[in-house]
Amino acid sequence: MPTSHYLSLHAAVEAHKAEFTSVIRAGIQEALLAMNSEEIKAAFFSASDVASDLTSTQRAA
């Protein structure tokens, strides 16, 4: 992927980050309400791992 394309994609994501975050949080909350406690624990730790990976990736960039 050319650097200019990556930069424009990155800028678009940054511009809509709050909206993306809001939609993702709403989806997670809805999913958690539909699960039992063991599923909630598994989903929480999985989401924590994803968030940690995303944070690490952003720091590396």
pLDDT digits (tens, 9 = 90+) for 8-55: 888 888 888 888 888 888 888 888 777 777 777 777 777 777 767 666
Distance CA 42, CA 47 (A): 9
Q: How many residues does the chain have?
A: 61
User: What pLDDT, on the 0 to 100 scale, is given for residue 51?
Assistant: 67
Side chain identity at residue 27, one-letter code:
G
Other CB atoms within a 10 A radius of the CB of residue 60 amount to 6
Distance CA 18, CA 4 (A): 23
Side chain identity at residue 53, one-letter code:
D
